[in-house]
Amino acid sequence: MRKATFISSFLLVVLITSNVNSQDLFYPGIMHALNSEQDAQLDDAVKLLKKASGNENNANAIDRKYARFEKKSNKKDWNKKTWEAKQQRILAEMNYQKAYRMIFDLYSEILTNGTYATTYDKTEAISLNDDASKKFEEADTYLAPFVDNSKEQLEVADYEGIKNNLNEIHSLHVNGINNQISALKIYIDSSVKTVKNEEDDIVLEDAQNEESYTRTNSRNVDVRENINQGLVFKVQIAASKVDLSEWVISAKAPNAEEIETLYIDNWNKYMVGEFNSYQEAARYRDLLRSTSPDAFIVVFKSGNQIQVTNAMKNSSENL
C-alpha cells in the first residue's frame, strides 16, 4: 500500500477594504501548489492591495476633515478641498487594477494550461475566463481617463461622480476575478472525474500492474503503522482509480493540516483526520460540506477498514 501526505498551506489574506474582501479573491484550492515564481507574483499583488487600502484610508481621513462642507447646498468648496481625496481614490483603484491583473494572469495561466476530464468542462471554464478578460478590458478602458489626476483637474471634478465611476470600475475587476474562481472550481472538479474509455483503462492497467505486487503486500503493514489500535475514524473526501493532483485533492479540504492517501482495493482513497468516536468525525465531516459535499466517515480496526455500524454511530465512545 502506498501512502502520501499533502500539507495544505494556502495563502491567507486578511485585508478588508471598502470595496471588497480581498481574501475572497484568492482561491484556496490552488494556493498550496503554486511555484516560487507564482508565489512571488501573489505576494506582489498582496502588497498592491495593501497599498490601495492605504490610499482609501487616506481619502477617508480627508473626507472626515472637510465633512462640514459636504452638507452645504453649494458643493464647490467640498469639491475643491477634497481634491487630494479624489486623487487618493484614483490611485487606490490604479493599485487595485495592477493587483487584480496579476491575479487574473495567474488564474488564466492555470485555466488555459490545465487538463480537463471532458471537452465540455474545458469549454465552460475557458468561456468564463474569456468573460473575465472582457471585463478587465472594459475596466481598463474606463480607468484610462483618470490617469490625468492633477490638482487643477480634480478641484473642479464632481466627487460623487468620481466615486461612482471608480466603484463601477472596481466591480468589473472583482466580477472578472469571480468568473475565474468559478472557472477554477470547474477545473478542480473536472480533474477529479474518472474518464472511462478504453485508452484510459489500458494506461491504468499498465500502471497498476507495475506496482500491484508491492502495494498489495505492503498494504496491511503500512496501514497498521499509521492507525492506532482499536477503532479509528477518518473522513474520506475522495476516491479515484488514478492519482489525483495535489491541487485537486487539497481543494476538497483546504484547511486540513494533512491529507493522507491509502491504496485500498485498487482505489486511491483520500482521508483526513483521526478520531476516537464517530461523533467527532461527523463534526469534522460537516465542516467540509462546502468543499467536499460527498465526504463520509470510514472506520479502521487494528489497521483494517471495516464497516461503520449503527452501534458506532450511536456510541459516544468507540475506544
- Looking at every residue in the chain, the average pLDDT score rounds to 78
Distance (Å, rounded) from C-alpha 144 to C-alpha 93? 11
Of 176, 192, 208, the position where a domain reaches its end is 192
Q: Are residues 48 and 119 in the same domain?
A: yes
Has residue 23 been placed in a domain? no
148 by Cβ neighbours in 10 Å (0-12 / 13-18 / 19+) ranks as exposed
pLDDT in tens, 283-294: 999 888 777 788
SS3 category, 188 = helix
Q: Are residues 177 and 226 in the same domain?
A: no
pLDDT at 76: 83
Q: Are residues 185 and 116 in the same domain?
A: yes
pLDDT in tens, 207-223: 444 444 334 333 443 44
Please tell me the least confidently modeled range out of 81-85, 137-141, 148-152, 210-214: 210-214
Number of domains, the chain: 2
Which CATH number covers residue 279?
3.30.70.1070
Q: Residue 253 — left, alpha, or beta (φ > 0 → left; ψ -120 to 50 → alpha)?
A: beta
Block residue for cell numbers 478542480: 188
Q: Are residues 116 and 159 in the same domain?
A: yes
Contact 23, 12 (CB under 8 A): yes
**Predicted confidence (pLDDT) at residue 34 exceeds the cutoff of 80:** no
Has residue 283 been placed in a domain? yes
Q: What is the dihedral of CA 9, 171, 108, 27, to 10 degrees?
A: 20
What are the φ/ψ torsions at residue 73 (nearest 5 degrees)? -65, -35
Q: Are residues 249 and 103 in the same domain?
A: no
pLDDT at 235: 92
Has residue 301 been placed in a domain? yes
pLDDT in tens, 113-134: 887 878 898 999 999 999 999 9
Q: Are residues 170 and 75 in the same domain?
A: yes
Has residue 52 been placed in a domain? yes
Other C-beta atoms lying within 10 Å of the C-beta of residue 83: 20
Find all residues with CB under 8 Å of 37, minimum gap 6, and list them.
none
Of 192, 212, 230, the position where a domain reaches its end is 192
Q: Are residues 175 and 226 in the same domain?
A: no
Has residue 286 been placed in a domain? yes
Contact 225, 262 (CB under 8 A): no
Angle CA(205)–CA(245)–CA(23) in degrees, nearest 5?
165
Contact 83, 50 (CB under 8 A): no
pLDDT top residue among 203 and 45: 45
Q: Are residues 47 and 136 in the same domain?
A: yes
Distance (Å, rounded) from C-alpha 202 to C-alpha 208? 10
pLDDT in tens, 7-17: 233 333 333 33
Q: Are residues 169 and 240 in the same domain?
A: no
Q: Are residues 97 and 233 in the same domain?
A: no
Q: Are residues 55 and 177 in the same domain?
A: yes
Of 144, 173, 192, the position where a domain reaches its end is 192
Nearest to 291 by CA among 200, 184, 195, 172: 184
Q: Which domain holds residue 94?
A: 34-192
Has residue 198 been placed in a domain? no
- pLDDT > 90 in the chain, percent: 40
Please tell me the least confidently modeled range out of 86-90, 133-137, 184-188, 220-224: 220-224
Has residue 25 been placed in a domain? no
Has residue 157 been placed in a domain? yes
Contact 224, 303 (CB under 8 A): yes
Q: Are residues 62 and 127 in the same domain?
A: yes
Please tell me the least confidently modeled range out of 8-17, 53-62, 232-241, 256-265: 8-17
DSSP 260: E
